[in-house]
Amino acid sequence: MPTSIALHRFRLTAGHSISRTQLFNLWAAACRSRDVSVTRVESGSGFGESGHTYSVWGSAQMRGPEIEQRLRDSLVAALPKATIVLTTL
């Protein structure tokens, strides 16, 4: 596998979360490859709110508007009531 890099990072609004397994499956489908990884790290907002910061990893070739849009669409479908702010790295 080519070197894996963090491609996108996001947090979810309070009260929402996604498991690493579910995120992996969404990301793998968006990339059309299972040669990806995800991380979920506990973090706070700085305002007493706990939550997680999620990152999706893959090769630089997995960076592109089509893949990003598939990921966004999948996250919205999986978490319809959450506010998702996806950052491209």
The pLDDT of residue 58 is: 97
C-alpha distances in Å from residue 5, one per residue of 12, 35, 44, 67: 21, 12, 23, 15
Which CATH homologous superfamily contains domain 5-88? ACT domain (3.30.70.260)
Prediction pTM value: 0.88
The pLDDT of residue 20 is: 94
The pLDDT of residue 47 is: 57
Q: What are the residue boundaries of the structural domains of the chain, listed by start?
A: 5-88
* Residue 77 φ then ψ, to 5°: -65, -40
The pLDDT tens digits for 2-61 are 789 999 999 887 789 999 999 999 999 999 999 999 999 987 655 556 778 999 999 999
Q: Rounded to 5 degrees, what angle do the CA atoms 16, 18, 20 make?
A: 155
